[in-house]
Amino acid sequence: MIPMPLHAFGTRYDLPAPLYLFLIGAGAVVFISFLLVLRRPVVRMQPTGDDLPPVPQTPSWPGWLMVVLALILILGGLVGSQSTPDNVVVTAVWLVFWIAVPISVAIVGNYWPYISPLNVVARLVGGQARLDWPRSWGYWPATSLFFLFACGELIFNGVTTTPAGAAQVLLAYGIVNAIMVALFGAETWLRRGEVFSVLFATWGRLGYFRFGAPGRRGFFGGLVRPFEASISRLTFVLLLLVSVSFDGLLATPAWKDVVSQLPNSLRSGAAGYTGLLLIVFVGMVGLIWALFTGFAAAVRAVGHLDEPLINVIAGLIPSLVPIAFGYLLAHNFGYLAINGQLLIHQASDPFGSGTLNLFGTVQYEPNRNLVPTAFIWYFEILLIIGVHIAAVVLAHGYLGRVARTETQGRRAEWPWIAAMVGYTMTSLWLLAQPIVQEGVKG
């Protein structure tokens, strides 16, 4: 098998017009949609329901099946072939679980609690809580763990994307999960500390089905409720945006030019480069917090809202979740289509033993041009415009509910549309960098 890069694409697409025209056009469409949405009436009833609903009390048989599967993957990663394309563990962890499952949850709804092996372990181990959950912790354990997993994919992937490395990540997190459940009890840990319970509950607000969570059935039905107005919870949601934006930044020619000018100790492959990436990642978290807080403050001031600033931020952040989903899907669409083909090869010999060929597909070679790059580009344009329009609609609903008058609510939306138009153009620019090249065909 030919090794596949983490985010592989086919041939680059030669744009029929300058990129800036695509960016301006996308921003214009979002702005026009705002003008149309602005006149839409708003139901002023405040939504109710917990930020994260209780998780199922009884482990289900799919959860037990997932426990067995996780144990097999850990064993296969530790003792199987250490060739990444030949061992299914890396594909299962970083492509299926880290990317495909969140996308499916955001479309279908949060089905994860009913199949989670972590819930099975938690219900077995976590009886009476031995310690109270410190109030100051909030959602920081889940937020910190999400940051570490994101670093595992984006920064430490030289280790974590090997079969043994991926298996060790699974094993280590399973142990952490069991210890924390034993200390704080299953219910508390699963709702505030266990990263994937929090992650999929967040994505599940987008999905069509609620699966017991508050909100109406239908896409975006769970996003009418604000998130908990705490720094830890809001940072978790913003990390969904930052992690994909950071990955997109690393693929840009501008970043490669910056790296080429750095001393050898800070270039890719050097130990200093890891530290540089961590600084940039943390810096981007701080930057998006500053930008988002600034726009939220402008919204509050222009609309003369009575809500505290932290509550305005918590009310507006649900409108960013569709954008995070759109960027997640758009950024990984080509990756899923190309690297996902590795599963065809791996299905016949999951752990690369070299002696199996269960389905006769061991010799299958991924087709890098399975999906035309032009299709990926235009799909990304439509997707990014669509999710930003959804963000405008959600913000319109929130501001219409909390403003004292309808006029003030509409006035408050103007700073937000400026943020949405700017973010639309920035997102498309980042997405364009690895797959398109500018030029006019004559």
> Which pLDDT tens digit goes with each residue over 252-261?
888 888 888 8
Specify the pLDDT at position 434: 81
CB atoms within 10 A of CB 190: 29
Q: Residue 307 pLDDT > 70, yes or no?
A: yes
pLDDT bin (cut points 50, 70, 90) of residue 315 is very high
**CA 292 to CA 280: how far, in whole Å?**
18
Q: Radius of gyration (Cα) for the chain, nearest Å?
A: 22
Domain boundaries, the chain: 1-47+228-442, 52-225
> Which pLDDT tens digit goes with each residue over 190-209?
989 999 999 999 999 999 99
Specify the pLDDT at position 438: 64
**CA 249 to CA 277: how far, in whole Å?**
11
Average pLDDT in the 286-290 region? 95
Specify the pLDDT at position 3: 47
3-class secondary-structure state, position 267: coil
**CA 273 to CA 263: how far, in whole Å?**
10
- Name the DSSP class of 254: H
Residues whose CB is less than 8 angstroms from the CB of residue 33 and which lie 6 or more positions away in sequence, other chains included? 389, 392
pLDDT bin (cut points 50, 70, 90) of residue 45 is low
Residue 239's Cβ-count burial label (10 Å; 0-12, 13-18, 19+) is buried
Read off the tokens for 432. 């364009």
Q: Residue 441 pLDDT > 80, yes or no?
A: no
Q: Residue 46 pLDDT > 90, yes or no?
A: no
Where is mean pLDDT largest: 38-52, 293-307, 359-373? Answer: 293-307
Residue-by-residue DSSP string for 151-191? HHHHTSHHHHTSHHHHHHHHHHHHHHHHHHHHHH-HHHHHH
**CA 7 to CA 154: how far, in whole Å?**
11
pLDDT bin (cut points 50, 70, 90) of residue 10 is low
Q: Residue 239 pLDDT > 50, yes or no?
A: yes
Closest CA to 8 of 427, 344, 364, 336: 336
Q: What is the mean pLDDT of the chain?
A: 89
Q: CA of 205: how far to CAs of 91, 200, 353, in Å?
A: 26, 9, 41
Higher pLDDT, 142 or 123: 142
Residue showing tokens 């010999």 = 349
> Which pLDDT tens digit goes with each residue over 70-95?
999 999 999 999 999 999 999 999 99
Specify the pLDDT at position 50: 66
Specify the pLDDT at position 433: 83
Q: Which of 10-14, 74-78, 358-362, 385-389 comes out lowest in average pLDDT?
A: 10-14
Specify the pLDDT at position 109: 95
Higher pLDDT, 316 or 129: 316
**Length reported for the chain:** 442
Specify the pLDDT at position 83: 93
**CA 314 to CA 178: how far, in whole Å?**
31
Q: Residue 249 pLDDT > 70, yes or no?
A: yes
**CA 28 to CA 34: how far, in whole Å?**
10
Residue 27's Cβ-count burial label (10 Å; 0-12, 13-18, 19+) is buried
Q: CA of 85: how far to CAs of 1, 92, 246, 366, in Å?
A: 7, 11, 25, 10
Specify the pLDDT at position 71: 96
> Which pLDDT tens digit goes with each residue over 256-287?
888 888 887 777 777 788 889 999 999 999 99
Q: CA of 378: how far to CAs of 16, 22, 437, in Å?
A: 12, 10, 14
Specify the pLDDT at position 256: 85
pTM of the model: 0.91
**CA 347 to CA 434: how far, in whole Å?**
30
Q: Residue 168 pLDDT > 80, yes or no?
A: yes
Closest CA to 228 of 364, 50, 105: 50
The dihedral through the CA atoms of 100, 106, 107, 112 has a sign that is positive
